[in-house]
Amino acid sequence: MTKKYSDSEKKDKKAALKEITEQLEKSIHEFMNGEKYKNFLNQMSKFHSYSLNNQILIAIQRPEATICASYSGWKSQGRQVKAGERGIKIICPAPYKKEKIKDVIDPKTGKPELLADGNVKREIVEVIIPHFKIGHTFDVSQTEGKPLVELSQQLTGELTDYQKELRDALLQISPVPVSFQPIEGSANGFYSLDKNAITVDSTLSEKQSVKTLIHEIAHATIHNTNIPDAPKDSPTREVQAESIAYVVCQYFGMDVSDYSFGYIAGWSTGKETKELKESLEIIRDTSNDIISKTEQTLTQMQSVKQTVSETIQPKRRGRYM
């Protein structure tokens, strides 16, 4: 049964939602300096499936958070929120149904049907009204109970078999063909709009090759000329691609110490909150898409590998009498 709130309670909830929304909008500009921006991207990599608004809210309220879930989510994993812990406020969808009177449209003519008396025939339909409310999530440090399963492997040294599978998975999910060949000059790679293809410098180390591949996949995904509203200025394109590459690399445990975002303050100067948020939305959506597709492909590859390993067993030598 849906809980009914008094007018006063509804007003308070609306005011609280407005306050938290204004807080996150204001914080967007505060994130626009090198170190703060990098820290925010770290949060984005940890919570890539959360909406941008909620990623910002988590970063504001608990910047040290690593893994977040709802109260019931932790409970389902055998963990309990510690007594006295306060949840991290996030914005949750809470759509509701409402009856509405609308004209009955004739499917053949596309016009309203008429009754015998000439009036328009009407019917009552149920529509879903978008609505949001304040919810709560909790960091793992606020819980206790069953140990968590280790989720990721670190990319250190030369590429391991798993890390080579990561590279192969990226090649599979790339939206355009990828080639590896020597590149003159200082560029590690590039995405060609004319050829709609990616080229990665074949002389790069294996790890740098993977990082460059992710950067160029980001370009190919969001800066294709066939994509509506793709940013036209080069600085914005680079900020978006580099940020996406950072989030994806951080998620898969690659060394990101060489990434620097000192130029962010200059790039963001003079930009409206709406414009900055649109870029962050693109970064969030694209990095989440690349991470999700890559993980799915990795799972499929590892499943096939396991099946082959179990199927192909060494033949036993017969015993001669």
CB 207 within 8 A of CB 228: no
The pLDDT, as a whole number, for residue 19 is: 86
- Which tokens hold the place of 108? 């053949």
pTM: 0.77
DSSP state of 33: S
Q: Which helix (H) or strand (E) holds 38?
A: helix 34-46
- The domain ranges of the chain are 1-95+130-147, 97-129, 152-307
- Mention every residue, 6+ apart, whose C-beta is less than 8 A from residue 124: 99, 100, 101
Q: Taking 60 as the threshold, does the pLDDT of residue 73 lie above it?
A: yes
pLDDT in tens, 82-113: 999 999 999 998 888 888 888 889 888 888 99
Q: Taking 80 as the threshold, does the pLDDT of residue 146 lie above it?
A: yes
Question: Rounded to an integer, what distance in angstroms lies between the CA atom of residue 40 and that of residue 21?
Answer: 18
CB 226 within 8 A of CB 254: no
- Of 163, 150, 152, 175, which is closest to residue 211 (Cα–Cα)? 163
Per-range mean pLDDT, top range of 14-18, 108-112, 138-142: 138-142
Lowest mean pLDDT among 178-187, 210-219, 308-317: 308-317
Dihedral angle, C-alpha 55, 60, 64, 68, nearest 10 °: -40
Question: E strands along the chain, which residues?
Answer: 68-69, 79-81, 88-93, 96-103, 122-129, 132-139, 143-145, 178-181, 189-192, 197-201
The pLDDT, as a whole number, for residue 316 is: 47
CB 246 within 8 A of CB 260: no
Is beta strand 178-181 parallel, antiparallel or unpaired with respect to 197-201?
A: parallel
